Amino acid sequence: MMKVCIAEKPSVARDIAEVLGAKQRKEGYYEGNGYQVTWTFGHFCTLKEPHDYFDQWKFWRLEDLPMIPSSFGIKLIENNGVQKQFRIIEQLVQACEEVINCGDAGQEGELIQRWVLLKAKCTAPVKRLWISSLTEEAIRDGFQQLKDSTQYNNLYAAGSARAIGDWLLGMNATRLFTKKFGQGKVVLSIGRVQTPTLAMIVQRQKEINAFVSEEYWELKTIYRETEFTATIDRLRNLEKANKGLSYLKEHPFEITSFEKKDGKEGNPRLFDLTGLQVEANKKYAYTADDTLKHVQNLYEKKLVTYPRVDTTYLSEDLHPKIAGILQDLTPYSALTAPVLANPVPKLKTVFDDKKVTDHHAIIPTGMHPGGISLEEKRVYDLIARRFIAAFYPECKIATTTVLGKVGQVPFKVTGKQIIEPGWKEVYANDQSIKKEGEEEEKILPLFVVGESGPHEPRIHQGKTTPPKAFTEATLLRAMETAGKQVEDEEMRELLKDNGIGRPSTRANIIETLFRRKYIEKKRKNIYATQTGIDLIDTIESELLKSAELTGNWERKLRLIEKGEYTLDTFKQELIQMVVELTRDVKNNSHKTITIAPEPPPEPVAPPKKAPKPKTPKKETDIATLTCPKCKTHLLKKGNTAYGCANFNVCGFKIPFEILGKQLTDKHVTDLLSKGKTGKIKGLQVPGSDTPVDGKLVMNSSFNLEIG
């Protein structure tokens, strides 16, 4: 009797067979030493399609929706190669004493293998090989520590829940919106992750399209070869700027404060998949999908560890092995030497068992990279340098802040000086590691408080710029944090459970949106097409569009993985949502969407004297926002306020005018999306005769107050 090992790819099966001594090549498997090593090539099975349940579900008809199978079944993919290889697997598992699941060590890999074993009616006991790299050492260690398959039942349940959830929503909502709103042969594709992703892009697109560029003027001056900027509000007309300039010429410059602080710049975190995709997009303009393919190839060539991960930490038991891996990175010996001169530190920012689940961050294995493509070399270099940099000392900096004044006008300049480069030595001459908006190192002269002298004032003219379009890098980050703008690494780690999509699927989601022509790329920027905008405008259900709500589903899928939530509960919640969605859309007013004949032109700033858009034109933008209190959409209540559609119960509203000031659409949008406005001048506070400047803030009771 044989033990049958099933890998996910022929190349991986070959590596495993080599280690196990299964040297004899047979039709569809290797054999020897008591083992038969066979393989799938990705998905062999899929959930049954609608027509597999009922003949009438073959046709796209509104009256048949929603389609809710009483139980979900699987079937083999209709492909001759798949069916031939499956028959081989089926014969092997039905005649063996034990099966060893050697699939990719992740949720998708577990699902692929379990479905194959289910379809093959496997009754033999099943063990699980769970490894983080494909080196010979890792495979040997893995076979010495085989796990019982039942340890991964929750992982399988989470994979099943994800597949069933995507089927329920995708199949029903796509048919529902296509038949209700589609025109001609257009298919309106709706997905649990793709639709909120598209909604984020459309929202950004609308902000860009609605943006009206305004000129502004700032006062600047040069004192002792150092440029200072006035810290007053930007001036909105040239006349005021010229008056300010005249005033500055009448007074000397005086230093009022000089402060120098020592600080540190923490080391960059090790890569998870999203971090690697972001960096490769920023530095080489690689798409998320391309980066995933390159790093998967590196993994299969034994050069890096398992890539489909969402943690930036290593398990603590890896610490003793780090020096050996660094030692093996001979092409980087000049960079590793300073680290190897001392014992490798056990840093809390690198090693933390609590932050590692199935796999650790992506690191090199220490194997020598040879015979790889330029693209793979670049991705490997990103991983290797990040790994080395993690063990360097922190970068020590000095930040200098100098304040001054000319008459009564305050001025400021800041400078940053690198005292000890630390980890930045690993990236010497590499500008790509600079954070967005980070200034070059600027060393300021030594100033003394109270010193004064002549200066050279001037007027700087600028223009306000629209919000930035998404790139793949910023879109991936937005998906990871469910649309929240987060720079802090620690906070980003906390939000990952609520991100939309998984690291391994986000690239495919973006590619799907391109393929459906809902988005397009111009240079590195991503824009929504008119079809994409029309589709999101048609969808009234916030459940379909909200990144936050979709992120909540992702959190539940992770809870299923941990055994803290059940597949049945998740399924019932989605069924209820699909039933309600179908009812609401069927009762909706009829409008049609067609594929845009050509992509919309790239947004350009309007001419200087372009009239500002009238308020009614922006009403649709406001209508896409939701009540912060009960999440229902907002309505315009006569000529007095924006109010919750469920106002009689909820009671939330924002008046058009408050404290003597008419609120603009931007003020309302900022209040709903950020919880506060920018500074508003001339607010009339009750009980005071003097108007004040301030921000309107929405407090925890959803009332407005001055902040």
Cβ atoms of residues 9 and 39 within 8 Å: yes
What is the spatial distance between Cα 180 and Cα 581, in angstroms, rounded to a whole number?
Answer: 13
Using CA atoms of 84, 85, 86, 88 in order, give the dihedral in degrees to the nearest 10.
100
Helix, strand, or coil (residue 398): strand
State the DSSP string of 583-614. Answer: HHHHTSPP--B---SSPPPPP-PPPTTPPPPP
Distance between CA atoms of 38 and 8, rounded to whole angstroms?
A: 9
C-beta atoms surrounding 695 within 10 Å: 16
Phi, psi of 592 (to 5 degrees): -115, 155
Kindly state the tokens that stand for 645. Answer: 């559609």
User: Which strand (E) or helix (H) includes residue 673?
Assistant: helix 665-674
Give, rounded to a whole angstrom, the gap between the first and last alpha carbons of the chain.
76
Cα 85 to Cα 116, 495, 606, distances in angstroms: 11, 41, 60
Cis peptide before 454 (omega within 30 of 0): no
**Cis peptide upstream of residue 364 (ω within 30 degrees of 0):** no
Q: What are residue 367's DSSP bridge partners? A: none
CA 289 to centroid of chain Cα atoms: 13
**676 CA to centre of own chain:** 25
| Residue carrying the six token digits 């890998």 | 7
304 forms beta bridges with 364
Torsion 274-280-282-286 (CA) sign: negative
Question: Would you say 12 and 39 are in contact if contact means Cβ atoms under 8 Å apart?
Answer: yes
By the 10 Å C-beta count (0-12 exposed, 13-18 middle, 19+ buried), 409 is classed as middle
Phi-psi region of 253 (alpha: psi -120 to 50; beta: other; left: phi over 0): beta
* DSSP three-state, residue 688: coil
Q: Which residues are catalytic?
A: 306
CA angle 567, 570, 575 (to 5 degrees): 120
For residue 368, give the amino acid letter: H
Give the span between the Cα atoms of 707 and 688, in whole angstroms: 16
Following DSSP, what letter does each residue of 1-67 receive, concatenated? --EEEEESSHHHHHHHHHHHT--EEETTEEEETTEEEEE--S--EEEPPHHHH-GGGGS--GGG-S-
